[in-house]
Structure 1
Amino acid sequence: MPDRRGATLLEDLPEEIINKILVLLASKDAGRCRAVNTSWRSATSTPEFMLEHHRRQPSLPIVDGCGKPANQVVLGDVCAGASNQQLWPFLSGSKHRSRNEPIAVCDGFLIVSWGYEFYICNPVTRKHALLPQPQVGQGIDNTMVGFYQHHPTGEYRVLWVSRSHQTSESSLYVLTVGSDRPRRISVRMPTVLSSSAEEELWNKLIYSYCSSPVHHRGSLHWYPYGTSDITGGGGDIIVFDTEAESFRWMRSPTQPCNHSKLFDMEGTLAFWGRSVSNTSMDVWEMQDYEAEIWAFRYRIDVSTVEASRQLYLTSFKKKKTRPLDSAVRLFNDMAVLNERELLVRFNHQHVLRCDIDGKFLGIVNIGKSQYRMWLTPHRLKESIVPIPGHEMQEDEEPPFSTGHV
């Protein structure tokens, strides 16, 4: 019924209309609605609602603030102006920063290491749970190399490499989140590898900068340096089929690159490579996955970005002498914001926004006293879905101290 002023209250609307409104809310607002009344709590707690709400969330890059104002910050895609960025610091600063750094992200869940233990957490619901490791004991190292959703079952799974110091042998394990028993799997390769070559493959997965594989078409994709030396030219991208639980090789674009990475470009497997001269960044996307055909998309030139940035500074700010390390001299990393806008890290202190034509759009600023930033390989897609199968704890104490601030 209308209130005394004649206005219709939200509670008076049909249930299906209320649900359509609630599913459009931001994650933290949807969570707060659960405290309003019993009917809203019930409506926002069904699996159907939580999955639909998660489906509508954008996948946003994570910027590492190196402790100030927060270790990890989600950067939203609002507009080009740095002052209007949507920021969500979800891991607060810590004197022991290396202990609570995310090492794997899938959808709305993060896996964080704390000492020798690993936790899965949902920063929206502020819950976490301890993950059991494959083998625990002296002389055993467990390394997490993949975190993914197994589409046939909907389960979230963790891929581990467990290594013994005494025998130097490595084993592969899969842990279903919610289970207490990691499952050892046999390694199946498309070609027969010697034991030394297989061990070298594990070294590539463990020690190279590929700890965040790209999950595409039910497979995990890594691009560690020097893989083609192991595969005998069969490919330089390592692919793990999460359904068949087998490995295969894939070829990357053939152009020579000084520094390269795989990434997800709005649901498409993509590849960027810095030129040998460090003056440009080329971007390809997978045109035909089965035939392993890549298509060149665009090139970003350092000189174009720097010229656009100088014009921006001259037009909107007082002209100042810039220290040498603030100039755009090379590209170190990249993340996609949308069809035309990118985040680019060009040194240890600056992350900028530019478009695919090399036009400078602004410097990322996540804190007044920020002096260092790192563009991580992770992206977060917020979710109010609970962590499967665990008695969860509130993140009010270490190792996390997470939440919206």
Structure 2
Amino acid sequence: MAEAAPLLPGLPNDITIWEILLRLTPKPLLRCRAVCPAWRRATSDRDFLLAHHARQPALPLLYGDTDDLLSMDIITCDNWAADKLQSPSRDLTTPLASFRKRGERRLSICNPATRQYAPLHQLRGFKLLGMYPHGPTGDYRLLLYLKADAQSSTYVFTLGSGLPPRHIRGPDAKELELINSRGSLLFHGSLHWHADNLIMVFDTTAESFRQMHSPIVSGHVIAGLFEMGDMLAMFSLNDEETIVDIWVMRDYQGQVWASKGWVEFPIQELMAQSEDLGSCWEVEATYWDGDLLVLAKFDNGSLHQVDIAGKLVDSFRHRLLCPTPLRLKQSLVSHTFFPALEGYVVNAPPFI
């Protein structure tokens, strides 16, 4: 069999595909498919797309209020974790995620990178705790809970299966309310939530809950989890709303935490931009390309990006735009469950 013609003259295809094309972000990669059939085949291969997805950073999402009831109320901020905090974009390139339309308890599923969307009519009334790939089956599943009167129950829903949500044994009602207050973090094959000085963990293989220790945090008003390299990390805002403390779990199995330092807000510099700064009421931390960055939302509607040295990287003013604990990785992988969902569309509202 004749060897395939090189995609780029003078370079082996292994280098072109796995060292060059693999490093592109989704938009340029999609444009490469228009070069010729060989480029389209190379950039559409599932193994390549899975490897490409694995290289993408887990970018934070921002929540944007809108009067358009047909649009999604969760949006990305392009390159938030890079060098510049830019204005939000409706041309999203985020990965698979679950969303709730503003003013409704109706979940939908979408992949903005491939512009696939489907409502989840059968989940009306359910609340989303997290989404995860189920390793043994390869399914994508949603972890849900349903509150009826004073009772709360936990469920698992397999996307595209056609089966109703399956009841599983979960935490008590109080713990469910706590972990519902923040988004989950998928780490080491489990979903994690920080709640009330403990960490609730959902093993996505066994589909069971357990608890882990968290650093002892007293007098802190906001706390949350994030991934820092290959370690589970946690941030918390102090009572004075001036310092974000950072911890990392150096030994996951032994649940050993260590202080990683702190980020001090440049309050004087922020006040110089606006006399009416107000209180800090939303904070998120993220780790990207070796740098720790903090995004803080203040009462006056301003968003500020600060690095670990306390240096103000950028500012953005938008009263109705808020950080969320959600993290999404861009993905061009086509998921087979989409066509099995009622109301499935491609290149249709809410993307157009």
| Post-superposition CA distance 1:78-101 (Å, at most 9, x none) | 86455xx5964346xxxxxxxxxx
Q: Tell me the distance in 2 between the aligned counterparts of 1:330 and 1:16.
A: 49
Q: Tell me the distance in 1 between the aligned counterparts of 2:321 and 2:38.
A: 43
| Post-superposition CA distance 1:268-296 (Å, at most 9, x none) | 21111122333322111112222222111
- Say whether 1:124 aligns with 2:148: no
Specify which of 207, 232, 256 is matched with residue 245 of structure 1. Answer: 207
Specify which of 295, 298, 317 is matched with residue 261 of structure 2. Answer: 298
Q: Residue 355 of structure 1 corresponds to which residue in structure 2? A: 307
Q: Residue 40 of structure 1 corresponds to which residue in structure 2? A: 39
Q: Tell me the distance in 2 between the aligned counterparts of 1:74 and 1:54.
A: 19
The one-letter code sitting in structure 1 at the alignment partner of 2:242 is: T
The one-letter code sitting in structure 2 at the alignment partner of 1:325 is: D
- Say whether 1:279 aligns with 2:230: no
Shift in alpha-carbon separation, 1:337–1:285, aligned structure 2, 3 A: closer
Q: Is the Cα contact below 8 Å between 1:77 and 1:86 reproduced in 2?
A: no
Shift in alpha-carbon separation, 1:13–1:60, aligned structure 2, 3 A: same
Q: Residue 3 of structure 2 corresponds to which residue in structure 1? A: none
Across the aligned residues of Structure 1 and Structure 2, the Cα RMSD in angstroms comes to 3.2
Q: Is the Cα contact below 8 Å between 2:112 and 2:351 reproduced in 1?
A: no
- Percent identity between matched residues is 31
Specify which of 265, 274, 290 is matched with residue 228 of structure 2. Answer: 265
Q: Is the Cα contact below 8 Å between 2:248 and 2:258 reproduced in 1?
A: yes
Q: Tell me the distance in 1 between the aligned counterparts of 2:130 and 2:232.
A: 17
Deviation at 1:322, TM superposition (A): 4.6
Q: Is the Cα contact below 8 Å between 1:287 and 1:294 reproduced in 2?
A: yes
Specify which of 323, 326, 330 is matched with residue 277 of structure 2. Answer: 326
Q: Tell me the distance in 2 between the aligned counterparts of 1:78 and 1:222.
A: 22
Specify which of 157, 161, 183 is matched with residue 179 of structure 1. Answer: 161
Specify which of 343, 347, 350 is matched with residue 294 of structure 2. Answer: 343
Q: Is the Cα contact below 8 Å between 1:77 and 1:337 reproduced in 2?
A: no
Tell me the secondary structure at the aligned position of residue 334 of structure 2: coil
Q: Tell me the distance in 2 between the aligned counterparts of 1:78 and 1:274.
A: 20
Map 1:199-278 → 2, pairs under 5 A: 199-206=173-180, 209-210=181-182, 212-225=183-196, 236-256=198-218, 257-278=220-241
Q: Is the Cα contact below 8 Å between 2:284 and 2:324 reproduced in 1?
A: no
Deviation at 1:264, TM superposition (A): 2.2
Shift in alpha-carbon separation, 1:265–1:306, aligned structure 2, 3 A: same
Which structure 2 segments of 5+ residues have no match?
1-5, 68-72
Specify which of 82, 87, 111 is matched with residue 98 of structure 2. Answer: 111
Q: Residue 345 of structure 2 corresponds to which residue in structure 1? A: 393
Which structure 1 segments of 5+ residues have no match?
1-7, 92-106, 190-197, 229-235, 311-320
Shift in alpha-carbon separation, 1:201–1:150, aligned structure 2, 3 A: same
Shift in alpha-carbon separation, 1:11–1:126, aligned structure 2, 3 A: farther
Shift in alpha-carbon separation, 1:241–1:396, aligned structure 2, 3 A: same
The one-letter code sitting in structure 2 at the alignment partner of 1:336 is: T
Q: Paired residues, what number?
A: 332
Deviation at 1:17, TM superposition (A): 4.4
Deviation at 1:123, TM superposition (A): 0.7
Shift in alpha-carbon separation, 1:337–1:363, aligned structure 2, 3 A: farther
Q: Tell me the distance in 2 between the aligned counterparts of 1:86 and 1:389.
A: 33
- Say whether 1:57 aligns with 2:20: no
Q: Tell me the distance in 1 between the aligned counterparts of 2:273 and 2:16.
A: 53
Shift in alpha-carbon separation, 1:24–1:290, aligned structure 2, 3 A: closer
Deviation at 1:249, TM superposition (A): 1.5
Q: Tell me the distance in 1 between the aligned counterparts of 2:273 and 2:14.
A: 57
Between structures 1 and 2, the one with greater strand share: 2
Deviation at 1:151, TM superposition (A): 3.2
